[in-house]
Amino acid sequence: MLSSWKKTVTLFLGLLAPGVTFASGLCDTPTNLVQDCGFEATNTFATSPWSVDQLLNTASPPTIGVEAALANSGNNFAAFGSIPAGADGGIYQDLQTQIGTTYIFSFYLGSDGQVPDDFKVKWGGTTIYSQNNLPNFNYSQLTFSETATSSITRIEFEGSDQPYQLALDDVFVGVPEPSVAILTPLLLLVPFGIRRYQKRAV
């Protein structure tokens, strides 16, 4: 049984992608490379676009939780309750990516504060997030900016929790929205243009 987090406030942590914002519903946009981003297509990973990592804990692997009150969107979410402590289970997807292109990688994580637990996130085999004994917090959006180094990039989530589960929902991988991508270089040009004007005026 999961307990005390609610699908209420979204806390944008902006870990590695400052200045890039997007709505929580972006999970369902056509630009999202992640299939079944909200875990709504099926109630079991056996028939899901997500794969359970067979090299990790398969005795008590991640499962799809089905309870609207505990999901960030819809009815479902991914639940990481693998036991024993530290014996992480994992799920992954292999995405088609363009080498050298930088992608926004975003997801929502919820924790009931029960310990021990741990949670890891990998991009192309590299761990980009790893935490142990997470405190209690409502679904929170974690956002990273990652550059593809391969035409296939694996995103993976690994975790364990006792006695309940950590919750994952609404995973997004895509390029920044055009408005942001265009606006950012324009903003960088503004001070440059001002300096040039000041030099000519002297």
> Which residues contact Ca ion by CB under 5 A?
38, 71, 73-74, 76, 169
Q: Which is nearer to Ca ion, 17 or 71 (CB)?
A: 71
Q: Omega into 84 within 30° of 0, i.e. cis? A: yes
Q: Which is nearer to Ca ion, 25 or 163 (CB)?
A: 25
Q: How many residues does the chain have?
A: 202
Q: In the complex, which residue's CB is closest to Ca ion?
A: 38
Q: Which of 66, 141, 55, 129 is nearest to 90 (CA)?
A: 55
Q: Which is nearer to Ca ion, 36 or 150 (CB)?
A: 36
Task: Give the nearest distance from C-beta 74 to Ca ion in angstroms.
Answer: 4
Q: Omega into 163 within 30° of 0, i.e. cis? A: yes
Task: Give the nearest distance from C-beta 174 to Ca ion in angstroms.
Answer: 18
Q: Which is nearer to Ca ion, 71 or 134 (CB)?
A: 71
DSSP-assigned letter for residue 187:
H
Nearest-10 Cα torsion for 92, 95, 98, 100: -10
Task: Give the nearest distance from C-beta 170 to Ca ion in angstroms.
Answer: 6
Task: Give the nearest distance from C-beta 175 to Ca ion in angstroms.
Answer: 23
**Cα(17)–Cα(143) distance, rounded to whole angstroms?**
6
